[in-house]
Chains A and B, each alone.
Chain A
């Protein structure tokens, strides 16, 4: 049997099983969303704290950059003794992977605010906090959202690997399928899981286009 023979049998399989894939996709989306929310809070926070301090910014970017180089398979495994099994180690790992794009874009966005805008804000008597909340973050926002979007794409894929720590989501069928390579059942599982992950990533991307549009001032578009 070749690839197309296997493929031909997939529709029949999904007709019976699509509900369980929908459930898995929802679980998958849940850990991704949780991880991204946490990473956004931490990442934007780190960006805000370091964008005016180049040495500190460099440390943060180097550390979060290093996280990305750790093979995900290994990282999930390392977390078992610390966080046990399930979604907890998965979310911690995903947060680590999601940090770099968010931190980097926050720093870039905040640094790209026109100095004349900052000067006039200071000159008008906006305090440090008011400047950040009313001027700098809203102006940096389109760049920050792009960072969050990249992180989301990244984590949707990596979250599949969370299955090895018994994490929830679409990684389950993929790993099961890989264990049964060479059989129709194995193909059904791996293929359906992979395509679902891709579809989910696509959906998130659309969602972010809508979010970016709704949360960016008309004056910046």
Chain B
């Protein structure tokens, strides 16, 4: 399957799901239909009051739908035993809601206990989960929630939701009440955990940047949970479906798109570089042969040291490691193009130096690299849209619904 928008069997399928509250003229959620592929994070994002949380809560039936169906693993759960259903769906909310009278271990082991696991198995599972979320079990298992920081509580909340290893997790603004720095760290950690556990996750947020960061796919909802666009972050940023989506993404879509590509995914440019211990005549020749106006000097371990020009090289009395300008604007391969661009604009030579984990010089990225990455993304989306259009035009070939 090369076509990303057409995955085999969705883990969760919402079918014309509707919630109508008595006494209200319009339904809160009006017939949303959505396929959520297995092992992906699907983010529901939209302005407040668009019903995204209502959609989420209808999946574990904290809110009973007025009509429509929810299929999980192909099974209609709208008529199943609600408590039993919820024990197999992880649930994380913004306020976390840890049980204050129970220890961390009792909180995390709650659902396994409800499912009558043996004591030893629960204890082992609790330790495993605490490790997973980065809390040392020996130190934290017997603490009470009030003895934890906000970030630690949220980790325990995630560990608790993973308790009985549910295939599906629902997360309602899970990082909404946490300070920006901790939030960023928790988001990264959560993505790392998800890379391991591969749960099917429905994630609600009002923050488009969080949606872009966390989502494998994003459903942008307008009022009454009508889907404005359901696609990958790349596609939404590159080709917003309409004015509503464009407005919602806000200014700087191109810059946001740069968050989606990492330095290691783009071809690096090569800049004339040489060891600081080379003799000056060779350095001068190297510089003269290149098209660039300056040379990057590296230390004995290949780490970027100085930018030097022909004029700097001519100052024979100064040692080489003191002439020219310091080599700043250094990024590692896992940095995003957005990070690289940020460094680039502050750099003296207009490019960011890429180094490996040990700080060894790998190459550079410049504005040209960034521009062509954007072009690449744009044509990818166009190519895919064309393929989808062709598939739709040939009905015999259309296997499933296109998202």
Q: Tell me which of A33-41, A47-55, A122-130, A197-205 binds B.
A: A122-130
1/0 per residue, CB under 8 A from A, across B325-354: the answer is 000000000000000000000000000000
8 Å CB contact of A138 from B60, B101, B160, B163: B101
Residues of B within 8 A of A217 (CB): 100-102, 144
**Given the complex of chains A and B, what is the CA–CA distance between A142 and B103 in angstroms?**
18
Q: How far, in Å, is A215 (CB) from chain B's closest CB?
A: 11
- Number of chain B residues close to chain A: CB under 8 A: 31
Most chain-B CB neighbours within 10 Å: which of A117, A125, A220?
Answer: A125
1/0 per residue, CB under 8 A from B, across A84-116: the answer is 000000000000000000000000000000101
Q: Is B84 an interface residue (CB 8 A)?
A: yes
Which chain B residue lies CB-closest to A135?
B99
**Given the complex of chains A and B, what is the CA–CA distance between A43 and B293 in angstroms?**
87
Q: Assess the A219–B96 pair: CB atoms within 8 A.
A: no
Residues of B within 8 A of A117 (CB): 97-100
Residues of A within 8 A of B91 (CB): 120, 123-124
Which positions 115-164 of chain A face chain B at CB distance < 8 Å? 116-127, 130, 135, 138-139
8 Å CB contact of A124 from B86, B95, B96, B103: B86
**Given the complex of chains A and B, what is the CA–CA distance between A114 and B96 in angstroms?**
11
Q: How far, in Å, is A119 (CB) from chain B's closest CB?
A: 6
**Given the complex of chains A and B, what is the CA–CA distance between A219 and B107 in angstroms?**
12
A: contact size bracket: 20 to 34
Q: How far, in Å, is A97 (CB) from chain B's closest CB?
A: 31
Q: Is B62 an interface residue (CB 8 A)?
A: yes
Q: Is B114 an interface residue (CB 8 A)?
A: yes
Residues of A within 8 A of B101 (CB): 138-139, 217, 219-220
Which chain B residue lies CB-closest to A141?
B101
**Given the complex of chains A and B, what is the CA–CA distance between A126 and B100 in angstroms?**
16
Residues of A within 8 A of B95 (CB): 114, 116
**Given the complex of chains A and B, what is the CA–CA distance between A118 and B97 in angstroms?**
8
Residues of A within 8 A of B87 (CB): 124-125
8 Å CB contact of A125 from B100, B111, B146, B157: B111
8 Å CB contact of B86 from A116, A122, A139, A218: A122
Residues of B within 8 A of A125 (CB): 82-88, 111, 114
Which positions 107-139 of chain B face chain A at CB distance < 8 Å? 110-111, 114
Residues of A within 8 A of B160 (CB): 124
**Given the complex of chains A and B, what is the CA–CA distance between A121 and B144 in angstroms?**
17
8 Å CB contact of A119 from B97, B145, B163: B97
Residues of B within 8 A of A138 (CB): 101
Q: Assess the B114–A114 pair: CB atoms within 8 A.
A: no
Q: Assess the A126–B114 pair: CB atoms within 8 A.
A: yes
Which chain B residue lies CB-closest to A139?
B101
Q: Assess the A139–B100 pair: CB atoms within 8 A.
A: yes
Residues of B within 8 A of A116 (CB): 93, 95-97
Q: How far, in Å, is A141 (CB) from chain B's closest CB?
A: 8
Which chain A residue lies CB-closest to B146?
A219
Q: How far, in Å, is A218 (CB) from chain B's closest CB?
A: 6
Contact A219:B100 (CB < 8 A) given known A124-B87, A124-B111: yes
**Given the complex of chains A and B, what is the CA–CA distance between A126 and B95 in angstroms?**
18
8 Å CB contact of B114 from A119, A120, A124: A124
8 Å CB contact of B97 from A120, A130, A220: A120
**Given the complex of chains A and B, what is the CA–CA distance between A219 and B102 in angstroms?**
7
Q: How far, in Å, is B158 (CB) from chain A's closest CB?
A: 12
Q: Assess the A127–B83 pair: CB atoms within 8 A.
A: yes
Residues of B within 8 A of A220 (CB): 100-101
Q: Assess the A218–B144 pair: CB atoms within 8 A.
A: yes
Q: How far, in Å, is A132 (CB) from chain B's closest CB?
A: 13
Residues of A within 8 A of B85 (CB): 125
Residues of B within 8 A of A118 (CB): 97
Q: Assess the B83–A126 pair: CB atoms within 8 A.
A: yes
Q: How far, in Å, is B58 (CB) from chain A's closest CB?
A: 13
Q: How far, in Å, is B104 (CB) from chain A's closest CB?
A: 10
**Given the complex of chains A and B, what is the CA–CA distance between A127 and B110 in angstroms?**
13
Which chain A residue lies CB-closest to B100?
A219
**Given the complex of chains A and B, what is the CA–CA distance between A220 and B145 in angstroms?**
10
**Given the complex of chains A and B, what is the CA–CA distance between A122 and B91 in angstroms?**
10
**Given the complex of chains A and B, what is the CA–CA distance between A125 and B95 in angstroms?**
18
Q: A119-B93, A124-B114, A220-B100 are in contact. List 17 more A-B contacts (CB 8 A).
A: A114-B100, A117-B97, A117-B98, A119-B62, A120-B91, A120-B98, A120-B99, A121-B97, A123-B62, A123-B89, A124-B163, A125-B84, A125-B87, A125-B114, A126-B83, A138-B101, A219-B146
10 examples of A-B residue contacts, CB within 8 angstroms: A114-B100, A121-B99, A122-B86, A123-B91, A123-B170, A126-B114, A217-B101, A218-B144, A219-B146, A220-B101
3 nearest A-B pairs in the assembled complex, by CB-CB distance: A120-B97, A219-B144, A116-B95
